[in-house]
Structure formats: structure tokens, C-alpha cells
Amino acid sequence: MATYFVSQATGHQSLATITHLLKTGAKIHALVRSLEKAKTIPILHDTGVTLFEGESVDPDAVYKAAQGCQGVFLNTVPIPGLEIPQARTIIEESQKAGIKSIVTSTVFCTGTPNFWDDDATKSIKVTDEVSLYDYFRSKQDVENLVRIAGFENWTVLRPGVIHIAYMMPHVMANFPKLHHNAELNHFCEPDARIAQTDCDDIGKYAAAAFQNPAKFSSESIELVSENMTQKEVTQTLARVTGRKVVSKQYGVEEYDPNVFGAAFHLWSNIRDFTEVMKKAEAAQAKFGIPFTSLEDALTRDREQVLECIPVILEN
């Protein structure tokens, strides 16, 4: 029976990976920062899951969780300055424990630096101190660490805007007015498109890579299902919930760098992701695992979407 080490195990991408690995009969070593938080998550109560408490930058905690495992799912916190120490610790301790395979999740377009290594991307702030360029560069550094580490098998998954961005609490860092007045507030031009990803697909592909390392090894997969305008997203939310949802574009003067997802709104105004979508289509054909549409993902998790979008009464 194979056992896999999953870092940041209370995160949605890690939980999706755990869910799909458990379906294969695998065992899980789940590293969590807080056992108390883990107790509130049903899937982590499964008899196939063993919990380990500790930080991802703590070598002893990581090594303990990694022992006896065949593969590791590397999930890092997207904070430049913290992300690389996390990745390096998990990689080094996993190798000491004898792990042979690694799967990591970064972000779409990481492998296309000409998309983000320019002055325009550097001018877009994701916090007061950090630019969107810094964010992508950190993701690129994670990918490079994974590739050169010497694992027998490595796979990189690159999701776009994950569907949980339209649910609490993540909506507050993406579309904060959606929860308050059913308004999808954004900075996208009408024809700007952003790539979408179902979080469950990340887990599905991660589990498949562990199950069939020969097929997935040395692959970097653009894991995005659709390239959508904000009008299309708004219409999708309305169909799924049966509630009135409005889309409103705001001017750049109202941009708040502390609303993380808004950086991608500005970026989408100056980028065309057509080539990324072509790579995603090729990946689905190659691996035989179709990506899930945003509408299907939100429909599956409709109860959580309904909790996010209020009913707006007409005057």
C-alpha cells in the first residue's frame, strides 16, 4: 500500500489531492500547522490519514512526516520570501526520507517568463511591497528547485484562478463585494480573459501523477479549463445560484494591492492567454483526463457558492 506525504494539508489543493489519493487506496501523511484546525476537516479524519503537526520550514517536522512515503505533494504558501524556504525544506527532507516522486502546484504561465518578466508586470503590486513579477519569480524558483533536486519523478501543475475564489473566505481576496452585494467587482476590460481552474482537477492530476509516474514524469501541465471574461463569469454565477449577480469594472485608481486577485485583473488587460489554453487542451488529450468547467465546479459546490452570494431584492 503506497503512502504519500502532503504538505500544507489543510489547504484546498492539498485536500483535493488527499481526497483523490484516498480513492486509490493510498495512505496519507498529512503535515498541518494546527491539529485543532485539522480536526474541523472531515477528510482528515479518514482512517487512511495520519496527521503530523509542524511548520513546513521545520526540518524535523517535515522529515518525520516524510518517512515511509513514496511521493510528496509540495504545496507552498504564495508569499515571496517564505515560499522558497518552505519548498527547499520539504524537498531536502523528503529526499533524506527516501521519497522518489514529487508533484507541485505553482501557477499558470510560470513556464512562459516573457509573459511576466517585464516592466508592466513589475508595476502591478500584489501587496504594498511585492509585485506580480515577484510572485511569478518565486513560483519559477519553486519549479526549478523541484526539477534539479534529483527525484526520480517530478511533475508540475499550473492552475489559473481556482474556483474557490468565488467562495468564502477566498472571495475576500479576489472579489470582496460579491459577498456583500452580489457584485463581481473587478478591473478587467470587457474583452479581457482570465484562465479558470477547478481545484478538484489539481487533486485529480496530482493523484494520477503519483499513480503513473512514468507517464507524468518531467511534465509541466497548464491546468486551466476555460479562458473567461468577467461577464461570462458573472453569467455563470447567476446560472448556478439562480440569483442576480452583477459585474462592475472599476478604474485603476481604485485598485487595492491588498486584494490579491485584482492583480490578475490588471494583468489580463495586457495579456492574451490563447497559447496557454492550447497547451491545456494538449495536456487533456495527452493524459486523457478532461478538465472541469467553471460552471460544473461551482455547481458541484453550489451550497458554498450560495453562502457567498446574497439575495438582492429588486426595488
- Reported as a pLDDT band with limits 50, 70 and 90, residue 315 is very low
pLDDT of residue 313: 54
Confidence grade of residue 160 (pLDDT, cut at 50, 70, 90) = very high
More confident: 229 or 315 = 229
User: What average pLDDT does the segment 35-57 reach?
Assistant: 96
Percent of the chain at pLDDT exceeding 70: 99
Q: Which residue has the cell 460544473?
A: 296
**Stretch 15-34: mean pLDDT:** 98
Dist CA 99 CA 208 (whole Å): 17
- Span 116-154, pLDDT tens digits: 999 999 999 998 889 999 999 999 999 999 999 999 999
Say if residue 26's pLDDT is above 90.
yes
Q: Which of 111, 51, 98, 91 is nearest to 70 (CA)?
A: 98
Identify whether the C-beta of residue 71 lies closer than 8 Å to the C-beta of residue 100: yes
For 45-87, the DSSP string reads GSTTEEEEE--TT-HHHHHHHHTT-SEEEE-----TTTHHHHH
Going by pLDDT thresholds of 50, 70 and 90, the confidence category of residue 220 is very high
